[in-house]
Structure 1
Amino acid sequence: MNTDWFELNVAAVASVAELTLCLAILSYLLSLPNKDREAKLFTGIFFLLCLFYADDVFYNFVIYMPFRRVIIVVGNIILCFSNLLFVWFAYQCGGNPFRRESTWALLVLSLILALTLLLSDIGTRNIYLALAFSLCVAWVVGIYTRKARRVEQELGRPTPTSKMLRGFQKWAIIDFLIWTTALYFHVARLLEYLPFTLWYYVAHSLGFIQITYSTIVFLNYTQQRTSFQAKVVGLVLCPLLIILALTPFLLRQLIVDLPNFGSVNHRMSAAFLWLIPITTLTVLAGLPRLLRSNLLNPLNQILDGVRQVDAGNLGVQVPVLVNDEVGLLAQQFNRMTNSLQRYSSEMETLVAERTAQLQQTLDTLKATQAQLIQKEKMASLGELTAGIAHEIQNPLNFVNNFSDVSVELVEELKEEAQAGRTTHVLALADDLSQNLQHITQNGQRASNIVRGMLEHSRTPSSERRPTNLNALADEYLKLAYHGMRVQDPDFSVQLCTQFDDDSTSVVVSPQDIGRVLLNLYNNAFYAVRQKQQQQVTGFEPQVMVSTQVDQGTIVLLVKDNGTGIPKNIMDKIYQPFFTTKPTGQGTGLGLSLSYDIVTKAHGGDMRVVSHEGEGTEFVIQLPLF
């Protein structure tokens, strides 16, 4: 074998181990689908690292000086591009809030590195390049520090992004240590003082740590989806390659005093150069298969079982393939699904029982509600009947009174006629005629009241027809008032009406709207009577009713100056069966039914404004057509 231009040595072994590790990581990075910008830049960094370590392998193999000079120049150029990409990645990682600064920083660093490459003396150029690279990496440390602090200040706590930036910050610090070590190496070499083991132990150890740590940060914290299997393989491969790379240095110290040092060193280096790729291929090929069969496949089956449980299949069971923690996890999963299935069956039975109980309760409530509604209807009918009776009583009283007077006039008329007093007869006849006219008028009034109520009773509640809302409101106001007077003859209230002349006709169900008005009037009379009983000084009970046309709707207002509604029950007044009246005086359905009639049956609106101790105002808004 011709060894005039190359030799095998332990330095080449370390470079081959680093190149192998970078190639393994690069192959994984290239296999990632849908890489984002951060992943592409990180892949580019490792591509340049692979080129650099390949160049370093040739540098350690080659002893022919013209070749070594070319290799050094190529390596320096690769390092320049690698450090520029390192800076660019630092600005782009996690977003770039310093766009203008990043542009100027890359331009300045490119200019500095280009000028440094133009130096002719290799030793001086290496020193200046190591110094430039150290300053470049120190700048990167500052970039990561500022960006991490900025993210944490915006959100007030550490986030995955800030953890990623802090991780890459430590990566840059390790890189800074490498370049300061390289600077020391070149200065010491220039001064002809360089312990052999210091450079290789420190530089190559930091190199392995940097490669491994940066990959761990990328796999754990970036948004790029990564593989658990790749993490495990990498964590196994990295220590093995570190051991294989640094072991020859230790062995070299042991054999350096042997007479045949060169031959032993050559064979040892060759052995490790074969051992590194064989070990790497064994780990890359065998470990994933071992992981899939003993870890990933059982975990995937458990994960598939979790998906089926999430989809509703509580009876799923996963096979227990291994007898370790993963197998124990599978057993616990099967027990969990059995428990879930049992609990589900018990819950279905319990839900069925509770549903039957609730249905029975609901049927009871519906029956009770129907009875209460009927009671409310009968109560409203009783109040309406009392008002009608009072209204009819007035004309009947007139009829009775004038009839009695007319009987007396007839007797007097007979006496005067027998006496022949014609003038008196004519006067009595005129009085009798006037009495008969009053009887006819009041009889007609009673007939109109009865006819009107018959019309209301014959009209279905769902039938709508044009209705004079002013007349309807006034009629039910009087009926409600007279009904209240029947219950309490001492009750007195000032009735105020203010009807808009334009609101002559609205299409409604008169019977339903009449029920609404009757409920509102009765509540108003009840409120003013309660306040009257409190003997408030200067209080004069008053109920006001008004109508007004407003933008295609008619607004009916019922206002009283009674006790008002407390704030704590304002949101409950429309609830069915809620009432503030004493037991036996109200069912709590009046306002609830009135609200349904106005809003649901007639498409209107009903709202209330009230101040406790001052009065209440109900506002009903109905469409005109």
Structure 2
Amino acid sequence: MSENNHLEITETSELEDTFNKIVETILVIDDSPTNLEVLYTTLADAGYEVLIEMDGISGIEQVQSNPPDLILLDIMMPNIDGFETCQRLQTNPLTKDIPIIFMTALTDTVAKVKGLRLGAVDYITKPFQQDEVLARIKVQLKLRRLNLELDQQKQELEERVRERTAELSEALAALQKIQLQLVHTEKISSLGQLVAGVAHEINNPIGFISTNLYHADKYSQDLIHLLKLYQQKFPNPGREIEEIIEMVDLGHISHDLPKLISSMKLGSDRIQGIMQSLRNFSRADGLEKKKVDIHEGIETTLMILQHRLKAQTYRPAIKVIKEYGNIPQLACYPGQLNQVFMNLIANSIDAIDEGVQDSKWESEKSKFFSPNKIISTPLICIATTVDRENVTIHIGDNGKGMEAKIRDQIFHAYYTTKPEGKGTGLGLSISYQIITEQHAGTLECISSPGKGTEFIIQIPLQG
């Protein structure tokens, strides 16, 4: 065979492969021409066939007449929004299996959770990052191909179907776990950016005030010393000066001014300390664990939640009882552990507030750990202990408690007993994942109606 003939056969084979390759279709529904242009260019350059629509109704009609392999769906649109569009597509048997990826703002966690509940498989954030968009689309199209392949194999061999179903279920479970981690990571990242921005804006004026207070203190001491020297050298300054001294109460000023400046300096130092605590709370964790004092994380969390612990019109102040053991520094991811403390303590405050609304609060809902001890003050108890293997953290409250059927589901993703808009059902689920997977520990809940709730965290010393 000649070299030219071999070249022709190679080129023909590559051409056949190109024709046999399936071009996947992606429908983009967005009312922003700019977004449509960016996404069309990105997806077309990546080799996808791209369809575009600018509202939900037109998008649904397009899906029904020309079903795509995947849909990118904006939330805010005219006529019907993205949530309604998603819901209609999910209720139609002919379109319910087409994966939908929502397009949302970076910090809009509530919208992301609502979209996932309606049946969306993922989300991408605005402004768009080309690599992120293509990576998420690739994952979802791969999952869709697996679904179609699984349906085809189901007709051929039932046993093989069961195996593929198990594989797919595992992939979907892993994807959901990754989505939870993404929501958590974005939430902490957003908090960290916010705190860093606020700290930067506050540190400059506070630094200015603190520096000037130092000089003001020195100047005031010099002036007071000079006045005293004048009084010694010129004990009879004249009637006019004596009247002014009496009117301004020079003695009181001389005595109180240093105290006033000292108090102002203490206040500015306190603000600087609070901002440092906030930065520590929201700090990003690295790839490796760090040894930290977990009590500092608990104290910072209590400081952040102090406004919720104070007395309200419907209840007295929540008293926090702390029983800290002699705990060594623990190797952990401190940012993630602080998030767990925040979720659990905030959950205790919510339970107490809900319990106050019950008329039996004084008699039945005030039992805290000991059934024989009746107290009317709302309480949160935080205790830490250590043994040879584990550090144990108890966070309990004397709120209304939970029935067994609720208690058994509180660590499930998206499960919440709170009204819509007040809870996403992710806090305890993410906390459980942080403790059990990131720290190889355990998180347990003990609760019953009328006897409060206690969360018990155990983390191995050798993490």
Specify which structure has the higher proportion of strand: 2
Specify which structure has the higher proportion of helix: 1
Q: TM-score range by the shorter chain?
A: 0.3 to 0.5
TM-score by length of 2: 0.47
